[in-house]
Each structure stands twice: as C-alpha cells, then as structure tokens.
Amino acid sequence: MAIRNIRLDGDDVLRKECKAIDKMTPRLMTLIDDMYETMYEANGVGLAAPQVGILKRVVVIDIGDGEAYTLINPVIVEQEGEQEGEEGCLSLPGLQGTVIRPERVVCKALNEDMEEITVEGEGLLARAICHELDHLDGVLYKDRTLDGLYSVNPPSED
Ligand code: NI
C-alpha cells in the first residue's frame, strides 16, 4: 500500500466525469487499498478516486461507525429528509462550508468482490455518501454551499 498525492481544488481532474468500473483487477484493488491508507493518513472520512487523480467510479468511506465502505459504481436510489451541516473536503484543506443534504439515503453499489450491495445511511453517513458520489461527477461541495467557504481556523487579524 502507498499513500497517494491528494489533488487539490483547481486541479482539472476534480472536475471530470468518472468512468464506470466493469471488473476487479489487481491494479484496482491496489488503488482501493491506497485510497484507504491515504484517507486515514489525512484523517478524512471519505475519499473518491478522482481525488488521487484516477477517473474511475469508486469511493471509500469510514465515518468511524465501525464499518468501512468501498462503493464501486455507486448510485443513490432513495433519499429522504434534509439536514443542514458543515462539510469539508481533503481537496480543500482548511476550509468548510454549510451544505444541505438528504437526512437519509439508500445507495446501491458493488463491493470489492463486485457483488451488489445496498448501504443505508443516515446523518453523517448520508452526508458522506452524497459528498463522495458528487466527486465522481466532478462536483465539489463548494458548488453547493449556502454561504460560501470559510476557514476552519481563521488567522488572527493582528
Ligand atoms: Ni471531498
């Protein structure tokens, strides 16, 4: 496994549409392992392949609920409710913004064995799923903020 370079806002690769994955390969398995390592090292709760420069439809999520999710070709098939909350992204370090997301989503995807899975997420998990899936379509949370971005640790004025 290896830590990969996280692409930052402004990099064109973050604005591209990712391609569906048709089969598991050793190369793809290595990518997924590296994505987990990169996400954990950066203290993130999710990472999408374009954030490490790979335009494939795969994301990893671990919000610390005891389960890690590898979602290949993920699609949100149900959503309900609304939540307003703070969001950040490893590709926009030091920044946050307020984004409205569904309170609950149901996501269908393939796992690492290319088996169909259904993940139901509420609260933070629903937010993470929506955020990571957006990356696969070249969308960043800053496109969805209610009142723009702000610094997590504002520099002192003096
Ligand atoms: Ni992100």
Q: What is the pLDDT of residue 154?
A: 60
Question: Is 60 in a helix, a strand, or coil?
Answer: strand
pLDDT at residue 1 above 90? no
pLDDT at residue 158 above 90? no
**Residues whose CB is less than 8 angstroms from the CB of residue 39 and which lie 6 or more positions away in sequence, other chains included:** 45, 46, 47, 60, 62, 90
pLDDT at residue 20 above 80? yes
Our answer to whether residue 82 is catalytic in this structure is no
Averaged pLDDT, 84-113: 98
pTM for this structure?
0.95
CA of 90 to the centre of ligand 1 (A): 6
CA of 106 to the centre of ligand 1 (A): 19
Q: What is the pLDDT of residue 5?
A: 98
CA of 70 to the centre of ligand 1 (A): 15
Q: What is the pLDDT of residue 156?
A: 58
Averaged pLDDT, 71-90: 98
pLDDT at residue 42 above 80? yes
Averaged pLDDT, 6-28: 98
